[in-house]
Amino acid sequence: MSMSMYILNIIVNINCYTYYYYPLLDISLPHKGSFARSYHAWQADWQQQALERDVAAHCLTILSPFLRHLWERKGSMLDHKLHDNALTNLPAEFGELKNLSNLSLDHNKMSLLPQEFYKLTELRWLSISHNLLEKIEPDFGDLVMLNFLNMSHNKLVVLPPGMGYLVRLVELNLSHNQLQELPPDIVNLRDLKKFNISNNNLRMLPPMGELRKMEILDANHNNIEVLPDFYGCTALKEIYLANNYIKEITEEFCDQMQHLTVLNMRDNKLEVLPENISLLQTLKRLDLTNNNLNKLPKNLGLLTQLQSISMEGNKLSFVRQDVIRGGTDRMMKFLRDRISEELVCDTKAANNEWPDKYTLKKSQSLMLPARDLTSVPDDVFIAAASAEVHIVDISRNKLLQIPNGVTHLRETLSQLILSSNSISNVPSELSCLSHLQYLDLGKNCLLDLPVEIGDMKNIRELVISNNKFTKIPRCVYELENLEILLAAENQIDEINVSSDALPKLKKLAVLDLSNNSIFTVPPELGNFTHLRSLELMGNCFRQPRHAILAKGTASVLSYLRDRIPAK
């Protein structure tokens, strides 16, 4: 064996050719037959360079015990990157890297960690994904300084007791293993924020209430049959439980998860949704695709912040397929239109019988549609305020004005439905409902809205259809978070695209101006490319023609852009 090959085998064992590995380290071997420098001097240079370089993706299959001497020479090593090699094990000497804090061992071929590995008690960041690990020892709990741990894509069947000692963990990824259960002490990880246990064989999850800081739970693709108890998970924002065997979302779950923003339970066995699902008032994404649902609770349409709802692949016989496939806006409109109709049968009590506090608290809504009411006593709204009611529906009555008592709900009200009455003006005091997100004033006798309505910056959907407006009220252009404006069936005669009007509504996605008295459609409206739905049918203008309007929003906007005069 040549001297150069002998030296290389002493330092590190690899399965790559020497012409491949040496250029990566940028190290020159002494010329054969003329060692100007001693072997020891050359070896010292190699050690120094090896310590200071990233040895990831270098086709290493074995780490030499010589690593201990490298450590002694360097004195301190905080980061070590050994990912994307072909390592089958680590030498015992690896445990002598006492001050190691960050270690990457992803994409290797290790099936076992040496006992000495658990001496790396200063590790803060450890990623050992995409290996062949079948087990880890209870001593893993000694790595108490860890705040990030990724052991995904291995072959772990069980986790040892002691994982609960890793109390500093903020992010834990155990996905793509073969775990059948979680150790009971896993709930001791009280600093955990992100927990990924997807793609395992878990049949159940322990009560999660102790994980008070957890923000994201991903348990997709398991065999879970029952929702765990989340009581106490006050920080939890996103839950992913797709591809499991869960049959029910419980009322307790809705009580506990009122701060949830994402709930993905597609591809389960859900048969029914609880009536109090309307408590999930912060929910933005709801995916219930491919379940066994045959009906939906009437209050589902009251989730005012929903930006995405998916219901395909269920057995919803009462919902037309074109509605299901029509996207979130159409689905939510359908659900809201049903609310009043379904509540009529439930609210046939005499006019002087108001919901009790228990009913208000349980549903967090005050539902009084179709009662022929001409007024609502203040006491009813005071009781609703004490029950922290989010939704008030007084539609389809005989109100001539908006009840003053509704302002008692200024701290909680997010949805106010006043449609199908005989209201002729809106009081400026209504603007105190600063949390309001959905306001339905349709089918009344309104001519204008007070300027103070422009202060209601949280409104996302405004319905003023079927009134007597001749213009879109100026206050509407101040609603900077407005996404849906329904103003059909009025006497509106213009579309104001000046800089202080429609262009201020940067988030507007749905604009319905059908069946008004609009004489011209300004070409500049074509620049409103953020519009997903634009309805202009039933007006007085000649251009765009009906054939263009029938092609849909994208075609109308394109047609209008093509007619913007060149500067």
How many angstroms separate the CA atoms of 492 and 367, rounded?
Answer: 32
How many structural domains comprise the chain? 2
Tokens of 224: 């879970």
Residue 433 in any domain: the answer is yes
Q: Given this model, what pLDDT does residue 252 score?
A: 87
How many angstroms separate the CA atoms of 340 and 367, rounded?
Answer: 9
Contact 63, 86 (CB under 8 A): no
Residue 532 in any domain: the answer is yes
Rounded to a whole number of angstroms, the CA Rg of the chain reads: 33
Q: Given this model, what pLDDT does residue 367 score?
A: 87
Q: Given this model, what pLDDT does residue 70 score?
A: 53
pLDDT in tens, 369-403: 888 999 999 999 999 999 889 889 999 999 999 99
Residue 141 in any domain: the answer is no
Which DSSP symbol is given to 44? H
Contact 253, 276 (CB under 8 A): no
Contact 70, 93 (CB under 8 A): no
Look at residues 97, 114, 139 and tell me which one is the last residue of a structural domain: 97
Contact 117, 95 (CB under 8 A): yes
Tokens of 57: 């993706």
Tokens 């012409």 — which residue? 19
Q: Quick check: pTM over 0.85? A: no
Contact 264, 284 (CB under 8 A): no
| Torsion angle, alpha carbons of 260, 262, 268, 270, to 10 | 50
| Torsion angle, alpha carbons of 103, 107, 109, 113, to 10 | 20
How many angstroms separate the CA atoms of 363 and 552, rounded?
Answer: 39
Tokens of 11: 């330092």
How many angstroms separate the CA atoms of 308 and 327, rounded?
Answer: 8
Residue 276 in any domain: the answer is no
Per DSSP (E only), the strands in 71-196 are 79-81, 102-104, 125-127, 148-150, 171-173, 194-196
No. of helices (H) and no. of strands (E), the chain = 11, 19
In SS3 terms, 393-458 reads as: ECCCCCCCCCCHHHHHHCCCCCEEECCCCCCCCCCHHHHHCCCCCEEECCCCCCCCCCHHHHHCCC
Q: Given this model, what pLDDT does residue 454 score?
A: 95
Q: Given this model, what pLDDT does residue 67 score?
A: 55
Residue 514 in any domain: the answer is yes
pLDDT along the chain (567 residues), means of 10: 41 36 38 44 47 51 54 58 86 83 92 91 94 92 93 94 90 96 90 96 92 94 94 91 94 87 95 87 91 85 83 83 75 73 50 74 83 92 91 92 94 92 95 92 95 93 94 95 93 94 92 94 93 92 91 92 86
How many angstroms separate the CA atoms of 548 and 557, rounded?
Answer: 10
Owning domain of residue 403: 353-561
How many angstroms separate the CA atoms of 273 and 280, rounded?
Answer: 12
Contact 507, 484 (CB under 8 A): no
Residue 256 CB-half CA count within 13 A: 18
Q: How far apart are the first and last CA of the chain?
A: 80
Q: Given this model, what pLDDT does residue 34 score?
A: 41
Residue 218 in any domain: the answer is no
Residue 404 in any domain: the answer is yes
Q: How many residues does the chain have?
A: 567
Look at residues 37, 62, 97 and tell me which one is the last residue of a structural domain: 97
How many angstroms separate the CA atoms of 197 and 149, rounded?
Answer: 12
Element (H, E) at 48: helix 39-52
Say whether 173 sits in a helix, a strand or coil. strand
Peptide bond into 184 cis (omega under 30): no
Look at residues 45, 64, 97 and tell me which one is the last residue of a structural domain: 97
